[in-house]
Structure 1
Amino acid sequence: MKLVKAYIRPILLEDVYKKLRSSGHCCVTVFKGEGTGQYSDSNKEHGSFFFPAMHSRVVKMEIVALDENVDSIVKVIRETASTGTRGDGNIFVMDIEHAERIRDGKVGREVLSG
């Protein structure tokens, strides 16, 4: 199993989520954030009350996926979240060493089944 993390523009979240769902992928966790990277346009974006030095608003999506689904998930995110300009974001894929469902103690691949 893998953990797919994608940092995308907030305005594209709904489009990415709908495309993931229509492609057969579900179960996304989303976090709202701010940050700076190589792309930061202080003339267009400004920090918030909580993060005065940060300039770019981002959404982080996290998806736990079976290995065989990762390429499809990454492709959907990349194609749907791309505007072709700097600041579109990044996708990272990491191995999951252990997965366990709290409710019933199921482990491994079974965690992803209902």
Structure 2
Amino acid sequence: MKEIKAFIRKEKLNAVAKALKEKHYCCFTVFEGEGVGDYTDPVKEFPTLKFPFLHTRIIKVEIVCSAEDVDKITDTIGKYARTGESGDGLIYVGHVDHCIKIKTGERNGAPSQKA
């Protein structure tokens, strides 16, 4: 199993989520945050009063999938998150050693994702 973490622009979330769902990758988690990095859009992003040093508002999308689905999912995220401007974000792919469903205790069950 693989874990995909995508850091995208807030305004691109709906397009990315809709595209993933249309391709039957329905199960993912979304977090809102702020970050610091060279990817900041200096024209549109500024420090906030709550986080004076963190100046990029971002959305993190996390999805666990089979290794065979990684390219399809990352291509979809990249296509629908891209504006071509600085600050479009990053996608990371990592390995998942195992999964445990809290409700059932089932171990190593891959999430149900359809290609």
Q: Same fold by TM-score, threshold 0.5 exceeded?
A: yes
Between Structure 1 and Structure 2, how many residues are aligned?
A: 113
Shift in CA distance, 86/43, structure 1 to aligned 2, threshold 3 Å: closer
| Aligned-pair CA distance for 1:111 | 4.5
Superposed CA deviations along residues 42-76 of structure 1, whole A, max 9, x for unmatched, are: 45322223211121110000001111111100000
Asked if the contact 1:28/1:63 (under 8 Å) is kept, the reply is: yes
User: Going by fraction, where is helix more abundant, 1 or 2?
Assistant: 1
TM (normalized to structure 2)?
Answer: 0.90
**Percent identical:** 43
| TM-score under structure 1 length normalisation | 0.91
Question: What is the identity, as a one-letter code, of the residue corresponding to 1:81?
Answer: A
Task: Give 2:103's aligned amino acid.
Answer: R
After TM superposition, the structure 1 = structure 2 runs for residues 19-98 of structure 1, keeping only pairs within 5 Å, are 19-98=19-98
Contact residue 41 and residue 55 of structure 1 kept, 8 A: no
Regions of 4+ moved over 3 Å? none
**Residue 101 (structure 1) aligns with:** 101
Asked if 1:16 corresponds to 2:33, the answer is no
- Runs (5+) with no aligned partner, structure 2: none
- Say if 2:111 is the partner of 1:112: yes
CA distance in 2, matches of 1:18, 1:40: 25
What is the CA–CA distance in structure 1 between the aligned matches of 2:102 and 2:39, rounded to whole Å?
39
- Superimposed CA distance per residue, residues 1-32 of structure 1 (whole angstroms, 9 cap, x where no aligned partner): 00000000000001000000001101110110
- Letter of the structure 1 residue corresponding to residue 111 of structure 2: L
Root mean square deviation, CA, Å: 1.6
